Amino acid sequence: MDTRGTIALSESRNASGVDEVQSARAYNGRRRLERFCVCCVLVVMTGCAPRVMLAPPVEWPAEWRGRKLYHTPRALIYATNDAAAGEADRLTNRIGAAHELPLPANESEAKGLIVVVDRGDDPVCNQFDELLTIFIFGQSQLANRDAPSETHMASLKARLTGDQAAMAPILRQLMAMVPIPVAGGDVANTLGFPGDAVPNAAWAGLLPTEAMIRDASGTLTDQMIDMAARENKIPTATRWLITPMMPTIRNLLAGEILKLRDVAYESIVRQNDPNWIADRDARNRASNAWNIVKKPGNSTTAYATAYETTRAAANRLTDDTNVLRSLAAAEFRTQRYEETLATLDRVRELEKQSVEASSAGSFGDFARLMMPNVAGLVDNAVSQASTGRPSDLAFRAMAQFKLGQKTEATDTHRQLGEMVKSRHSKSADARSLLFEVTSLLGVARVPTSQPESP
């Protein structure tokens, strides 16, 4: 037999075998892709929409401002698509399960009302003023405080169109990314839902989707950088340096805002939960006590009462830095100086942990690795975020001085002066505390203006 013919035949068979193998691999690849697509379709069909749907109640409209009604066991959800409604349903159920919130006993019992705001949706309110009003009145209801007066609201709106007009676009983006509690009256009066249906809403809120937040956070990042550049707070060279990092910055910001969204939305869902109400009232009492202990000159009895109030609140809310700040001030006013420093150390540690666990800490690591030229700027920003507030330094300096730590007190006083001058020069409380510390230490005044009424 011809050797060349045998070799040719063998090569032909080998080539045919290779073709068959490649064809089989291609076929298997197509099958895997088809199965993957089918799985995706099933996930979309069964995993995105709310898992449990009830018959729509007759008193609520089937559609509202381009949104369809989804009636679920925990809430009435108005959304433009299944995915947005499903996201709201899952988040609401997760909060309910985590805090053991009872489900309504029957379909007619009052439940939550959620208006979902997704990317590309029509606005809930035609005017930004209306949305701002809903937000402020809703927050007042959540905090169990009196709603602001019409004069106060008019003044706020005037500032947003006057001396603070440059902040209005940023505020609009922020408002698009946060859950907004809706007070009972606004459900009918501002949003336009039927008056006879409103009593059936145990709570109400506007909830942005993750897609909405990721879009809006990117716009917000660009707006903030543009504003900083216009005010010469970011040198042109630095802006060029951070340009390659912008996708990472936007992603990190979106991640942080999503965390804040979930926390804020939890307050809306839990506003009738006795445990949440007890926490809220403890915070309110500590906030009221702060108004007493932040300044000198009140009676010993008033300071003692404020201390007992803040001590009880701190025992309940052990990681709440605002409550702990009120406690530290109360401890100083009642001459508990060592306790003051210990409480302020706790505040500092909690603030540091919060920054390190946030995207600010992650971004710092990323910047040091990828962009050494701007690492110093990032480290400085992260450091400032964890240095606390003027009151932290003020009460620390005064407690140190009372304990005979004169050198430490002088250094803390210097830090306080620099902080007030650079970042809090318009705060009457910050200037008052700086004046008190300066007077106590008997040192030369830090250049700042003393407020007319401390």
Cβ contact 413:441 at 8 Å: yes
pLDDT of 157: 73
Cβ contact 329:290 at 8 Å: yes
Please report the beta strands in 182-288, taking only residues with DSSP state E, as ranges in sequence order: 201-208
DSSP letter for 207, please: E
- CA-to-CA distance for 254 and 389, rounded, in angstroms? 25
pLDDT of 58: 87
Q: What is the mean pLDDT of residues 428-453?
A: 74
DSSP-assigned beta bridge partners for residue 77: 70, 114
Pairing of β 75-79 and β 180-181:
unpaired
pLDDT of 44: 46
Mean pLDDT of the chain, nearest integer: 82
The burial class, CB within 10 Å (0-12 / 13-18 / 19+), for 282 is buried
Asked if pLDDT for residue 8 goes beyond 50, the answer is no
Q: Return the closest-CA partner of residue 258 out of 87, 47, 14.
A: 87
pLDDT of 189: 83
Cβ contact 350:321 at 8 Å: yes
pLDDT of 2: 52
Q: Return the closest-CA partner of residue 191 out of 142, 135, 120, 261.
A: 135
pLDDT of 360: 54
Q: Return the closest-CA partner of residue 242 out of 362, 378, 358.
A: 378
Asked if pLDDT for residue 76 goes beyond 70, the answer is yes
Whole-model pTM: value is 0.76
pLDDT of 165: 62
pLDDT of 353: 83
Under the banding of pLDDT at 50, 70 and 90, the label for residue 261 is very high
pLDDT of 93: 97
pLDDT digits (tens, 9 = 90+) for 115-154: 999 999 988 887 888 888 898 889 888 988 888 888 888 8
pLDDT of 217: 85
Asked if pLDDT for residue 20 goes beyond 80, the answer is no
Which amino acid is residue 343, in one-letter code?
T
Q: Is 447 left (phi over 0), alpha (psi -120 to 50) or beta?
A: beta
User: Which stretches within 270-427 are classed as H helix?
Assistant: 274-293, 300-316, 321-333, 337-357, 359-370, 372-385, 390-402, 406-423
pLDDT digits (tens, 9 = 90+) for 340-365: 999 999 999 998 887 776 655 555 55
Q: Return the closest-CA partner of residue 377 out of 256, 245, 221, 220.
A: 245
Under the banding of pLDDT at 50, 70 and 90, the label for residue 80 is very high
- Percent of the chain past pLDDT 70, that is, above it, reads 77
- CA-to-CA distance for 348 and 359, rounded, in angstroms? 18
Q: What is the DSSP track for 38-97? A: HHHHHHIIIIIS-S---PPPTTS-SEETTEEEEE-SSEEEEESSHHHHHHHHHHHHHHHH
Q: Give the gyration radius of the chain's Cα atoms.
A: 29
The Cα-based distances of 49 to 71, 76, 87, 329 in angstroms read: 11, 13, 8, 50
For domain 274-441, the CATH architecture is: Alpha Horseshoe (1.25)
- Percent of the chain past pLDDT 90, that is, above it, reads 48
DSSP-assigned beta bridge partners for residue 115: 78, 206
> SS3 for 288?
helix
Q: Which residue has the higher pLDDT, 379 or 390?
A: 390
Q: Return the closest-CA partner of residue 204 out of 220, 222, 191, 195.
A: 191
Per-residue b/e over 160-181, b at no fewer than 16 CB within 10 Å?
beeeeeeeeeeebbebbbbbbb
pLDDT digits (tens, 9 = 90+) for 248-259: 878 888 888 899
